[in-house]
């Protein structure tokens, strides 16, 4: 009987180990993009704001001036009834800092992950005969310093397409990034014109395939690299969509510029209405009141 139970015990032990290895809570979750990638599609027009119409009988005085091809009309109108101003000393609100409220607030904060703003500055270098490479500086958080890395990802696509995401730990990040394109031939020609030496960028040799990154200088703590790795995961997952959206935004931008060139905005006439609610104070005599 004792020997017959050994296979059962071994099966139970192996099942427990398999469950521990595949427990969802023990595995990192995939990075998730939290915004819709802008593709140049115009935003819906806001609802028109109703204009306030002044009846001719309510105009007390009017004068107009011409300025840069437009007419500016200034009208004094009859006073308009407005809601009374708020009380100077409103009644104080009922206290809410009760022990029960403080406990619920602490539980809410413990369950809700903070939203982090990820600050990046990227220089996207474009070469005549090789893929673009990005030199990126990251500030992961307050009083956490910064670090720099080379990336095989084109961060111009990330800048226009990724605004917020959740990393593999579930932490939410809002992306705040400044960036610029740097073409090697143009930078070299500009240096020659200025008579200064030109030092070309020296990115590392990245392998073909999914975009990766390499730290320049001292490496930060591993947890500081989690959002950057997640950002690359999203880039590799959605690279085709990011590129298509970038082209759509560029096409929309060029179309808008052409529309403005063919139909430049014209000066618009404006009307400014005002009214007086009380008699202005008399100016003080020179030298002050006596």
- Bridge-based pairing of strands 130-139 and 147-151 is antiparallel
- Predicted local distance difference test score (pLDDT) of residue 91: 61
Asked if residues 196 and 141 have their Cβ atoms less than 8 Å apart, the reply is: no
Which residue bears the tokens 């935004």?
249
Sheet containing 59-67, strands listed edge to edge, beginning at the edge strand earlier in sequence: 59-67, 70-77, 270-274
**How far apart are alpha carbons 204 and 200 in whole angstroms?**
13
- Predicted local distance difference test score (pLDDT) of residue 20: 35
What the block records as the tokens of 48 is 């028109």
- Predicted local distance difference test score (pLDDT) of residue 113: 64
Contacts of 64 (CB under 8 A, 6+ apart): 71, 72, 73, 74
- Predicted local distance difference test score (pLDDT) of residue 142: 67
- Predicted local distance difference test score (pLDDT) of residue 235: 97
- Predicted local distance difference test score (pLDDT) of residue 119: 94
**Of 280, 276, 278, 282, which Cα lies nearest the Cα of 75?**
276
- Predicted local distance difference test score (pLDDT) of residue 62: 94
- Predicted local distance difference test score (pLDDT) of residue 285: 63
Helix (H) or strand (E) holding 86: none
Asked if residues 170 and 27 have their Cβ atoms less than 8 Å apart, the reply is: no
- Predicted local distance difference test score (pLDDT) of residue 75: 94
What the block records as the tokens of 216 is 């320049």
**How far apart are alpha carbons 202 and 145 in whole angstroms?**
24
**How far apart are alpha carbons 118 and 136 in whole angstroms?**
12
**Of 188, 177, 175, 164, which Cα lies nearest the Cα of 135?**
177
**How far apart are alpha carbons 233 and 37 in whole angstroms?**
16
Asked if residues 230 and 31 have their Cβ atoms less than 8 Å apart, the reply is: yes
Per-residue model confidence as pLDDT tens for the chain (290 residues): 444 433 333 333 333 333 333 333 445 689 999 999 999 998 888 888 888 888 999 999 999 999 988 999 999 999 888 788 777 765 665 566 678 777 887 787 777 666 788 999 999 999 888 899 999 999 987 677 899 999 999 999 999 999 999 999 999 999 999 999 988 888 888 888 999 988 888 899 999 999 999 999 988 989 899 999 999 999 999 999 999 999 999 999 999 999 999 999 999 999 999 998 776 656 666 655 54
């Amino acid at each position: 009987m004792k020997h017959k139970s050994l296979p059962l015990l071994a099966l139970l032990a192996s099942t427990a180990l398999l469950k521990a290895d595949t427990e969802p809570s023990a595995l990192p979750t995939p990075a998730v993009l939290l915004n819709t990638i802008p593709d140049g599609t115009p935003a819906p027009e806001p609802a028109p704001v109703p204009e306030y119409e002044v009846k001719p009988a309510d105009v007390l005085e009017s004068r107009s001036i011409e300025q840069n091809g437009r007419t500016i009309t200034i009208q004094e109108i009859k006073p308009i009834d407005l809601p009374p101003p708020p009380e100077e000393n409103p009644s104080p609100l009922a206290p809410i800092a009760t022990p029960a409220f403080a406990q619920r607030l602490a539980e809410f904060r413990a369950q809700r992950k903070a939203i982090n703003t990820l600050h990046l500055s990227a220089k996207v270098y474009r070469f005549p005969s090789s893929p673009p490479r990005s030199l990126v500086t990251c500030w992961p958080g307050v009083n956490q310093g910064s670090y720099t890395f080379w990336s095989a990802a084109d961060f111009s696509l990330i800048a226009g397409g990724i605004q917020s995401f959740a990393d593999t730990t579930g932490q939410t990040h809002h992306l705040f990034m400044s960036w610029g394109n740097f073409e090697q031939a143009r930078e070299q020609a500009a240096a020659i014109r200025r008579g200064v030496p030109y030092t070309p960028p020296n990115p590392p040799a990245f392998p073909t395939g999914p975009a990766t990154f390499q730290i320049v200088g001292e490496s930060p703590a591993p947890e500081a690299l989690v959002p950057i790795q997640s950002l690359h995961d999203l880039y590799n997952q959605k690279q085709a969509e990011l590129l298509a959206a970038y082209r759509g935004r560029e096409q929309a931008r060029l179309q808008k510029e052409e529309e403005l060139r063919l139909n430049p905005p014209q000066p618009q006439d404006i009307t400014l209405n005002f009214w007086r609610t009380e008699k202005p104070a008399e100016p003080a005599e020179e030298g002050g009141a006596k």
